[in-house]
Structure 1
Amino acid sequence: MPYIQTYKELIAQRVAEGDTGALAVDMLKAAAVNNGDWTGRWTQVLGRLRELPADARKALADALVEQYHADRAGPDARGHALTLLGIVARDLPEDFLSTERLKKLDELSRQHSFWHGSSYEALAEAELATGRALAPAVVAVIRRSAMDTYSPASLTRLAARLTTPALNVGEEWAEQALRDTADPDWQALLAHTTTATAARPTPQWNHRAAALIDALGADRIRETILPWLALVGRPRTFPLDRAAHQPDHNHAYDPYNANALRGLTWILALLPPHPDTTRALGALVDTSLKKVAGLGPRNPKVANAAVNALARLDGESALAELARLATRVTYKGTLKPLNTALDTRAEAMGLSREEIEELAVPAYGLTEIGRAEHRLGDVTALIEIHRTRALLTWRNAAGKPVKTVPASVRRDHADDLKDLKAAAKDIDRMLSAQSERLDRQFLARRTWPYAAWRERYLDHPLVGTLARRLLWTVDGTTVGHADGALRTLTDDPVEDGREVRLWHPVGHDPAEIVAWRDWLERHAITQPFKQAHREVYLLTDAERTTATYSNRFAAHFLRQHQFHSLAAVRGWHNKLRLSVDDEAPPAVRELPQWGLRAEYWIEGDGGENYEDITESGSFLRLRTDQVRFYPIDAPENSAHCCGGEYHMWLRDGRDPVDPLPLDSVPPLVLSEVLRDVDLFVGVASVGNDPTWQDGGPSGRFREYWTSYGFGELTQSAETRRVLLERLIPRLAIADRCTLEGRFLHVKGERHTYKIHLGSGNILMTPNDQYLCIVPKSAPGSAPQTGYLPYEGDRMLAVILSKAMLLADDTRITDPTILSQL
């Protein structure tokens, strides 16, 4: 960089000549040459300017002011002039361009951070030199910028001097914390939380925290901090500007405040255990792991800190929260400390991991299966579980239901009311988690002693509401719970046993499966997930021919991020495909109880155009290929992220391992793995996106969209068809509906409509014209159809909603739909 030396010599020459006007022009030219980046050897140029005598710097500052106001100066030149002024005018008595500097600082305060090479800290230094404090939003951007790995020492030193406010403004929780902490002891505690920059607190950190807790009181601290945590994740109080092709930091945590959040979790771990604390820490994990486009989870470090805090707390509620999170969290970095915490508890108690998860489920005050009564004065509060929701209702002194919370409860029992509402929310979250845990037990090969099973499942006040809607096998006899007892298919009671298993339709005769479906309907039992109606995937002739792999779910195009999330929920490990020169393994589900590993081969799709990749470089879509099975300890397969042959990665002289013949895979394992893959395709395929009738980008998916959206039904869609055969006669629109092949035909006044039972896409007469109706992303409950045998089939709800709408098509008012009719 010979021009660096040139500018250093030029400085000396201009000063010797006394031509500071020319020097100002030279420095602005230098800033244009380096694009405002004063890093590297350019810092030597700035060093020469700082070393100039005060009178030379004063003259240069005057010249820079003149250049700032010159007609030819553009916004970049003015910005460079302000920065250079901050550097050369340090320690001078004059305050140059203060109004303009404040305006520039205000602009910076609306950014997430600034590039350290711009030396914008000089503007803040100049402002501080006047004796004025920096605006809180300016302090925030300096702190965030200083946290960058490459930030210069000057910026780091400046950020360290900015001790007020204790937290960065812009987040609702932080601003509330600032309002609540005028007391010096509180300010000391808040300042201490911002020093939580490591993964775990040191003994010294805890010692200082303990002293601060003693000064304020444990109860006071908990009651003050927990409302702050409830505000975490809310929209910013003022938005940050977003540059083109940059992630939107408005939905992420402020990184400086994130350290304080981590410190707050450490503080809570030092307090006596309390149900409110565990509830708040669990919610913080959930909030911190929510995805932000282009960034991933909001802040895994905060989530991990909350998990570690839960692990340090004693008591039933903390263990329950860890167990709940273990069924919900899919982010590997947080799942690891979760598993470690639960494994450690299990080992300390001499139990298996499965047992600790079962014993960790609290009753939440329920005194009967799914029910509890609480007397508050002359009012009775009832918590009752209806399927997967807890409802809080009220009865007056006469025992009659009332619609709203009685005034006497609000007035005299505010704390009890708060606890009841919190318990109802806790029950909702735990019911969802336990339903997912039970749904994953089919491959766990679990058996239970009868007495332990009754205690932990059938007669547990919360889990019992799920277990009593499932089928079980007691000593080889299939049973369900009805009319207060376990009963066989002929309703004979079963009162005792030795060994219990969760029932699965694999291995049972079709007639027996249908009989149990009828039994569930006769007793009006809605299962929490598909069990009696669960799809069974048997080997096809094509799979017997290929022998070691299944192409049943190959050649599909999936939305990558939706597939990635769904795979994680179902216990699969997957690596996002990036449009880079790198390799990745297939999506994998490890089955240690069976000694097997299932693989679903995938690759990134597109990438030639920006419309196929995200701002972070990941593919928007995937192409799918084979499903294979290997011994669990076989070497890993991998392929290029952008596509190509899979190959086995052999290390340490290992020999390649062949895939297992499909007919050697246990039928239950084969069925459940293929069911997962069917779910991935059924949910994430671009073929079930009603807006893609034009084939998506460049129209290249038109043929696939048509073949998938109106093609042969998958096994899950066939199950849906069988259910609709029983449901349709009960519908109010039954006389307008018929099932024919792959479609539900609905006769409206304007047209007859054909709704595909797999994708939910619609064709209408005449000429099978496509009708685009986009369902809500999170639809409410399904239309009222009477009894449903199981929960969780979103596509069934979509199909029924569309049928109800189209059967009465003269009342449609949506202009987008009307324009197509």
Structure 2
Amino acid sequence: MAVRLGAAELTDGEWAALVEHLHDRPAEERRHAFDLRLPAGDAEVLLPLLGLPGAAPLLRLVRATSTTEAVRQDRDAILAAVRQAGVDGARRLLGLCPSESVSAALGWNRAAVSKRVKHNALAGIAAFGLLPLAEGETVLDRYLALREVAKRGPKLGPNRRHSHAAAVAVALDHLAQVSDFPDAERLEWDCEARIATEAPDDWQVGDYTVALRLAGAEPLVTISKAGKQLKSVPPAVRADPRYSEVRDHQERLRDQSRRMRSGLLERLVATGGTLAPGELARLRSLPAGAVLLPALIWQDQGGTIGLLDQVDLDGPVTVVHPFVLYERGLLAHWQGEIVRLQIRQSVKQAFRELYLLSPTERDAVDVSRRFAGHTVDGKVSGELLSGRGWSTHGQDAEHQATRPVTTEITAALVCDLPGYFGGGEVVVGELRFLAAGAVVPLADVPPVAFSEVMRDLDLVVSVAGVDR
């Protein structure tokens, strides 16, 4: 009864009577009343009775945080609210209403947050980015730690990996706030540039010279003696502490190259993404960018299509999707050029699979059955879809797999499955595109988005197919 009545809506007169009544009550009873009013959302009125007259803004921030999800926090707002409440007042309020994020912004729960990160807790990962830098810790140290956390994501379940990646993105945004960067993107570029420029110098171990060199985008540790490169690592070099350091740096550069290929470049090609001159310059300053970006086909603001040294770089440039080349009658030409110039594209572009709207799909207007009826392995197909940005759902959902393809349009796939992906074999069904809950005619779906969705599904039925 106390819980039900304690959270009931109160009139102004009832509030005045409650406050007057609590003035003379023990501290324990005041706190109990505060706890009962928290669900009603107006407990801040009781803060003066708890000796916390300036803690209302901080309480509102605490109540807005999540204990399970990764939610972006405004660090400046947290610190301003703490200043208004006072440090002692903030500690007392967090004792009444704990908040992992707020405590992290103040550095009061470092050990607990670090433990939660090890268990891949989403809110814990987000809070990790809010922690002030510890003594001796650099921004690059924290950035690399978050990159290590991100590596664990692909090993999680199909949908969990998306929420895990989102939590890391929130943590990077928080770290940008902690380190006074305008946004997470600038933080990432700065840290990646530091990784590239902090390569250890060549050094001598007896008669051996150890160096870190780049062969294209691949970092290599070379060991030479009297000018001749060795094929194996001598015990004297392996025992040197600097050898371990250079191997660590080699792995960082490899990670950088992998992230650029599978993340940035794949996304640019798949969406026909655009880079501003400053963005392109920063990416080209990275060893991986200097090698990988010139191998792509670009279009400048004047419409010229070419390699990076053939287009105008004074304005924004766009990575060309093969549909654009097809539409302009240049696809065969550029495929020939890539072969003639012996260019090795790290991301499929010129020879990327291209899917056009078929006459049957045009006649069907708003549904594609191109891959309907194919039976696939549920676990493998779920992992493939998840790796390409799809979210998978259970058999009771309206659609069993969905993926945003533009800011307004979502691809929605129906499947026949035993409960969930991974529970057994899955029969692929119809595909539709939705916008604001309404079905979008296939002819109105951007051709690049349509092609990429069909490419995803073709991969699924080809790799995970169990048709006989």
- Per the alignment, residue 725 of structure 1 pairs with none
User: Structure 1 residue 566 and structure 2 residue 384: aligned?
Assistant: yes
**RMSD across aligned positions (CA):** 3.7
Deviation at 1:504, TM superposition (A): 1.2
Give the Cα–Cα distance (whole angstroms) in 1 for the partners of residues 170 and 101 of structure 2.
Answer: 18
Cα distance per residue 1:312-338 (max 9 Å; x no partner): 355034235546766855524423422
With structure 2 as the length reference, what TM-score do the two structures score? 0.65
The code of the aligned residue for 2:280 comes to W
- Per the alignment, residue 515 of structure 1 pairs with 333
Give the Cα–Cα distance (whole angstroms) in 1 for the partners of residues 251 and 231 of structure 2.
Answer: 19
Secondary structure at 2:325 match in 1 = coil
Give the Cα–Cα distance (whole angstroms) in 2 for the partners of residues 381 and 209 of structure 1.
Answer: 42
Secondary structure at 2:463 match in 1 = helix
Match of 1:392 among 210, 221, 232: 221
Secondary structure at 1:554 match in 2 = coil
User: Structure 1 residue 542 and structure 2 residue 360: aligned?
Assistant: yes
Cα distance per residue 1:78-120 (max 9 Å; x no partner): xxxxxxxxxxxxxxxxxxxxxxxxxxxxxxxxxxxxxxxxxxx
The code of the aligned residue for 1:426 comes to R
Contact 2:356–2:451 at 8 Å: present in 1 too? yes
User: Structure 1 residue 440 and structure 2 residue 267: aligned?
Assistant: yes
Give the Cα–Cα distance (whole angstroms) in 1 for the partners of residues 333 and 141 of structure 2.
Answer: 41
Secondary structure at 2:202 match in 1 = strand
Give the Cα–Cα distance (whole angstroms) in 2 for the partners of residues 347 and 449 of structure 1.
Answer: 23
Cα distance per residue 1:642-678 (max 9 Å; x no partner): xxxxxxxxxxxxxxx2x11111111111111111121
Match of 1:586 among 400, 420, 423: 400
Higher relative contact order (CA 8 A, sep 6+): 2
The code of the aligned residue for 2:461 comes to V
Structure having the higher Rg? 1
Deviation at 1:399, TM superposition (A): 2.0
- Per the alignment, residue 431 of structure 2 pairs with 627
The code of the aligned residue for 2:233 comes to V
Give the Cα–Cα distance (whole angstroms) in 1 for the partners of residues 464 and 276 of structure 2.
Answer: 40
Secondary structure at 2:354 match in 1 = coil
Deviation at 1:390, TM superposition (A): 3.4
Cα distance per residue 1:448-468 (max 9 Å; x no partner): 222431222x23223333223
- 1:588 to 1:359, Cα distance in 2 relative to 1, 3 A: farther
- Per the alignment, residue 376 of structure 1 pairs with 204
- Per the alignment, residue 498 of structure 1 pairs with 315
- Per the alignment, residue 525 of structure 1 pairs with 343
User: Structure 1 residue 601 and structure 2 residue 414: aligned?
Assistant: yes
Give the Cα–Cα distance (whole angstroms) in 2 for the partners of residues 325 and 532 of structure 1.
Answer: 34
**Where does the alignment leave 5 or more consecutive residues of structure 2 unmatched?**
1-97, 155-159
Give the Cα–Cα distance (whole angstroms) in 1 for the partners of residues 402 and 454 of structure 2.
Answer: 12
Contact 1:548–1:662 at 8 Å: present in 2 too? yes
- 1:669 to 1:306, Cα distance in 2 relative to 1, 3 A: closer
- 1:207 to 1:660, Cα distance in 2 relative to 1, 3 A: closer
Give the Cα–Cα distance (whole angstroms) in 2 for the partners of residues 373 and 468 of structure 1.
Answer: 27
Deviation at 1:597, TM superposition (A): 1.0
- 1:555 to 1:351, Cα distance in 2 relative to 1, 3 A: farther
Contact 1:373–1:380 at 8 Å: present in 2 too? no
- Per the alignment, residue 167 of structure 2 pairs with 337
The code of the aligned residue for 1:599 comes to A
Percent identity between matched residues is 23
Give the Cα–Cα distance (whole angstroms) in 2 for the partners of residues 534 and 380 of structure 1.
Answer: 43
Contact 2:196–2:286 at 8 Å: present in 1 too? no
Give the Cα–Cα distance (whole angstroms) in 2 for the partners of residues 567 and 585 of structure 1.
Answer: 14
Match of 1:402 among 216, 230, 233: 230
User: Structure 1 residue 471 and structure 2 residue 297: aligned?
Assistant: yes
Give the Cα–Cα distance (whole angstroms) in 2 for the partners of residues 207 and 670 of structure 1.
Answer: 47
- 1:347 to 1:675, Cα distance in 2 relative to 1, 3 A: farther
Contact 1:558–1:621 at 8 Å: present in 2 too? yes
- 1:416 to 1:429, Cα distance in 2 relative to 1, 3 A: same
Contact 2:126–2:174 at 8 Å: present in 1 too? no
Give the Cα–Cα distance (whole angstroms) in 2 for the partners of residues 668 and 208 of structure 1.
Answer: 48
Pairing of 1:743-762 with structure 2 (within 5 A): none
- Per the alignment, residue 82 of structure 1 pairs with none
- Per the alignment, residue 315 of structure 1 pairs with 139
Deviation at 1:531, TM superposition (A): 0.7
The code of the aligned residue for 2:402 comes to V
- 1:316 to 1:372, Cα distance in 2 relative to 1, 3 A: closer
- Per the alignment, residue 462 of structure 1 pairs with 288
With structure 1 as the length reference, what TM-score do the two structures score? 0.39
The code of the aligned residue for 2:195 comes to Y
Pairing of 1:46-61 with structure 2 (within 5 A): none
Pairing of 1:89-108 with structure 2 (within 5 A): none
Cα distance per residue 1:548-569 (max 9 Å; x no partner): 0111111111111212222222
Give the Cα–Cα distance (whole angstroms) in 1 for the partners of residues 316 and 183 of structure 2.
Answer: 18
Contact 1:553–1:677 at 8 Å: present in 2 too? yes
Secondary structure at 2:334 match in 1 = helix
The code of the aligned residue for 2:446 comes to P
- 1:539 to 1:591, Cα distance in 2 relative to 1, 3 A: closer
The code of the aligned residue for 2:412 comes to E
Between structures 1 and 2, the one with greater helix share? 2
Secondary structure at 2:305 match in 1 = strand
- 1:335 to 1:450, Cα distance in 2 relative to 1, 3 A: closer
Pairing of 1:342-353 with structure 2 (within 5 A): 342-345=172-175, 351=182
- 1:500 to 1:618, Cα distance in 2 relative to 1, 3 A: closer
Secondary structure at 1:506 match in 2 = helix
- Per the alignment, residue 463 of structure 2 pairs with 683
User: Structure 1 residue 417 and structure 2 residue 264: aligned?
Assistant: no
